[in-house]
């Protein structure tokens, strides 16, 4: 079996690792020049029935446990005036421990044989050759031919068009990403507002979400429901900050500081999704995992589902001599699983940013009588 994986994100790496555990070689091609080419995001909460299942299949549970940041499962909901509406400490009994995404990715990379990942290979095109074989072309003109091609290449997948005409569509909402460093010393009011884990301060059409990371770093996503053109040119960082902060005029200063006092230039993150029920007819020799298959509204499940996809695909390939049988089995399970999660994500965003926010969100976290 000649397995070619496009993309060295968590889904592609879990797939390569599970295949390795079962004695099946795979080659991963990644556009980035090296593992350190860019920051790999913030914290991930790894869920019991998805991400943790995948890491167990990869034989990496002990390594994963060593990355957990104790106390970071705490959650608090604040009103726009800074008053605490809900506060749940991390008592160690939660099922979604937090780990740094970059460290988890490195754990997966270290678990693979040397040379498994080929860095600096940006895909420019793919084409079917017949009989389940495909050719992948990289920037510079190099090509590879494979009998099993897996697109783990994210939202703007180059592999997806082999299977589906669907393209990501903007949902009408974007995040503005900011960082505050050494917050306990430099920004004590903001640090106190965020607490030890996650902060949610939602309102109709907007909100501030933050998470405490290592070293007192506060990692913030500011949500605004606006056309993507509204956000303008983010090359002018000061103007972007001012435009974003203006939408939170009158909010508590410890919350707006997460926008105005950022230690890095703000980054615009427009949110795109594929159709909730995205699926395709079986095409020989190719499939998708993660966001390439089911890009959805963010709800904490994206990375977890990508890892589970990789693990389930790897196990199916190991269990069946016939590749097409394995791919069909994998896709039959993935389609409803990802559709359910995507629908849940849409419901969560309605609770966060709909007309009834934050009351609906509070009802979800603290049902009546609790």
Alpha-carbon distance of 331 to 328, in angstroms, equals: 5
Residue for token digits 């419901």?
Answer: 347
Length of the chain: 370
Alpha-carbon distance of 119 to 36, in angstroms, equals: 11
Alpha-carbon distance of 29 to 122, in angstroms, equals: 8
Burial 110-140 (b: 16+ CB within 10 A, else e): ebbeeebbeeebebeebeeeeebbbebbbee
Q: In 10 A of CB 350, how many CB atoms?
A: 15
Alpha-carbon distance of 350 to 345, in angstroms, equals: 9
38 marked among binding-site residues: yes
Which SS3 state, helix, strand or coil, does residue 19 take?
helix
45 marked among binding-site residues: yes
Question: Residue 168 — φ and ψ, nearest 5°?
Answer: -60, 140
Alpha-carbon distance of 171 to 149, in angstroms, equals: 29
H helices of 36-182, in order, are 51-57, 61-65, 101-110
Pairing status of strand 206-212 against strand 198-203: antiparallel
Alpha-carbon distance of 122 to 113, in angstroms, equals: 21
Sign of the torsion angle spanned by Cα atoms 169, 175, 179, 183 = negative
Alpha-carbon distance of 62 to 331, in angstroms, equals: 29
Pairing status of strand 286-288 against strand 267-273: unpaired
The token pair that represents 352 in the structure block: 């966060």
Alpha-carbon distance of 103 to 49, in angstroms, equals: 21
Which SS3 state, helix, strand or coil, does residue 236 take?
coil
Which residues fall in the annotated binding site for FAD?
Answer: 45, 101, 291
Which residues fall in the annotated binding site?
Answer: 38, 45, 101, 291
Which residues fall in the annotated binding site for NADPH?
Answer: 38
């Amino acid at each position: 079996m000649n397995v070619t994986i496009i993309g060295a994100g968590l889904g592609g790496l879990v797939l390569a690792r599970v295949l390795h555990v079962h004695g099946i070689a795979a080659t991963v091609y990644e556009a980035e020049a090296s593992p350190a080419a860019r920051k790999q995001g913030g914290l991930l909460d790894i869920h019991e029935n998805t991400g943790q299942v995948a890491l167990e299949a990869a034989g990496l549970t002990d390594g994963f446990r060593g990355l957990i940041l104790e106390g970071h499962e705490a959650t608090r909901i604040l009103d726009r005036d800074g008053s605490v509406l809900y506060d749940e400490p991390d008592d160690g009994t939660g099922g979604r421990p937090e780990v740094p995404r970059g460290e988890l990715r490195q754990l997966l990379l270290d678990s693979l044989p040397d040379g498994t990942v080929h860095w600096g290979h940006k895909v420019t095109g793919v084409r079917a050759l017949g009989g389940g074989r495909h050719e992948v072309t990289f920037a510079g003109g190099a090509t590879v031919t494979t009998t099993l091609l897996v697109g783990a290449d994210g939202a703007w997948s180059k592999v997806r068009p082999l299977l589906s005409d669907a393209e990501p569509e903007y949902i009408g909402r974007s995040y503005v990403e900011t960082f505050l460093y050494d917050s306990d010393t430099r920004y004590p009011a903001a640090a106190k507002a965020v607490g030890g884990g996650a902060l949610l301060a939602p309102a109709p059409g907007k909100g501030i979400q933050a998470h405490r990371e290592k070293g007192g770093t506060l990692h913030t996503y500011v949500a605004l429901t606006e056309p993507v053109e509204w956000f303008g040119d983010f090359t002018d960082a000061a103007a972007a900050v001012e435009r974003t902060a203006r939408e939170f005029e009158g909010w508590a200063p410890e919350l707006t500081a997460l926008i105005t006092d950022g230690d890095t230039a703000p980054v615009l993150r427009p949110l795109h999704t594929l159709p909730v029920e995205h699926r395709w007819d079986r095409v020989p020799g190719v499939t998708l995992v993660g966001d390439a298959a089911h890009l959805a509204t963010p709800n904490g499940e994206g990375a977890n589902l990508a890892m589970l996809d990789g693990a389930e695909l790897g196990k199916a390939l190991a269990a069946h001599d016939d590749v097409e049988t394995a791919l069909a089995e994998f896709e039959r399970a993935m389609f409803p699983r990802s559709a359910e999660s995507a629908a849940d994500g849409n419901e969560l965003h309605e609770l966060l940013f709909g007309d009834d926010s934050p009351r609906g969100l509070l009802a979800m976290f603290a049902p009546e009588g609790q």
